[in-house]
Amino acid sequence: MLALVALCSGAAITSALLNVNLDAERKLTQEFRTLGANVVIAPPSTGADPALAGAAVMDRIVQLKAPQIFAAAPYLYIAVNSGTQPVILAGTWFDQVSKMNSWWRLQGNWLTSRGDREHCLVGESAARQLRIAPGSRVELRSGERTLSLTVAGVVSTGGAEDNQILADLSVAQELSNLANRISLVQLVVAGTSSEMQQVTDRLAAALPGMEVHPVRQIAAAQGPILRRIRGMLFWTVALILALSALGVLASMAALAMERSRDVGLMKAIGGPVNRIMRLFLAEAGVLGVVGGTIGFLIGIFLARWIGESVFGVAISPRLVVLPVTVALTVAVALGGAFPLRLLGRVRPAEILRGE
């Protein structure tokens, strides 16, 4: 029972950490998605005037069919006036912006549909400057063109958006008379550092004349963090299995001493040492299979608890972890059965004489 408890405990933690390890990349990628864009595509600078690109850039990105691209939002930045106050208007696709910037703090309502020409979002600094709030009307003027929008919400981002008004891309293009033109594209690319590099290389090849820039602070952080998590999980599993092996070792040593009389009797009636050892190793193997299976089931609930505590969502159990957990537990059980080799040294005559 002591050996079984040790094996179940080790298998439960091993199963949980293996499930976490297999799901860590997906969960970590989901967490990094909330940090915003990690790749920016922009035309090369052409001096004092802002460089613009054709909206066909978005078509090429879609045609690339890269599953790692989670969201892609074009932006067109223009200078407009609201009354006598100058302000930057950022035209974009709100359905993509809401996917890549879910962490923005918002007072009011999100805009999540593309083509909404009636509403806008206003950064908190711009809202204070213009003295507007959700539900207010804001008049925008660029040259001879004017447009009135309803403020759906006031956003706080901690970035440049706090000083801008965000509207649909078509609104900015109409006010600036820059049809089918954009300033840049922001993307959220999921995956490891190597996968992200592959996607940026493909984007650069598909968009000649455009500059593809990974946001280093975000893109470079994901890979090292994932490696550290996996390293920590690997060494934790190794330590747990070593401790489980020590528990089995202690139990089997006591078992070997208790069963010395049985072994002496088996050898006295002609039982070969190899066959006797196979009986005990089979027992240890059965303990490993039972302990690994029970530990795997316990590990599923433990993995869910770890996932909810660390990532805020449950870890999805993987069936591939079951044979791995059972195999590791059986290996630990057989390794812990090393003291049973001492039974081969038992002398039947001494045992039968009661010595």
Query: What's the pLDDT tens digit per position in 78-87?
Result: 999 988 889 9
Does the structure show a pLDDT above 80 at 296? Answer: yes
Contact between residue 348 and residue 339 where contact means Cβ atoms under 8 Å apart = no
Q: List strand residue ranges (DSSP E) for 83-158, in order.
A: 85-92, 105-108, 119-123, 137-142, 145-156
Lowest mean pLDDT among 12-26, 106-120, 127-141: 12-26
Contact between residue 326 and residue 296 where contact means Cβ atoms under 8 Å apart = yes
Q: Are residues 71 and 177 in the same domain?
A: yes
Does the structure show a pLDDT above 80 at 219? Answer: no
d(CA 155, CA 91): 15
Q: Which residue, of 165, 186, 214, is where some domain finishes?
A: 214
d(CA 89, CA 135): 18
Q: Are residues 174 and 320 in the same domain?
A: no
Q: Is residue 219 included in any domain, yes or no?
A: no
Q: What is the DSSP string of 39-95?
A: EEEEPPP-SSSPP-EETHHHHHHHHH--TTEEEEEEEEEEEEEETTEEEEEEEE-HH
Q: Is residue 285 included in any domain, yes or no?
A: yes
Unique residue bearing structure tokens 């401790």: 243
Q: Are residues 187 and 251 in the same domain?
A: no
Q: Are residues 50 and 180 in the same domain?
A: yes
Q: Are residues 299 and 251 in the same domain?
A: yes
Q: Are residues 53 and 187 in the same domain?
A: yes
Predicted confidence (pLDDT) per residue in 59-115, tens digit:
888 888 888 888 899 999 999 998 888 999 999 999 998 888 877 888 988 888 888
Q: Is residue 33 included in any domain, yes or no?
A: no
Predicted confidence (pLDDT) per residue in 233-287, tens digit:
788 888 888 887 777 777 777 776 777 777 777 777 777 777 877 887 888 888 8
Instruction: Give the strand pairing for 211-214 and 39-42.
Output: antiparallel
Residue range(s) defining the domain that contains residue 69:
38-214
| DSSP H or E stretch at residue 231 | helix 216-258
CA–CA distances in Å: residue 233 to residues 27, 147, 226, 227, 311? 15, 56, 11, 10, 15
Q: With cut-offs at 50, 70 and 90, classify the pLDDT of residue 12.
A: confident
* Number of domains making up the chain: 2
Q: What is the pLDDT of residue 150?
A: 93
Q: Are residues 204 and 300 in the same domain?
A: no
Q: Is residue 221 included in any domain, yes or no?
A: no
Q: Are residues 243 and 124 in the same domain?
A: no
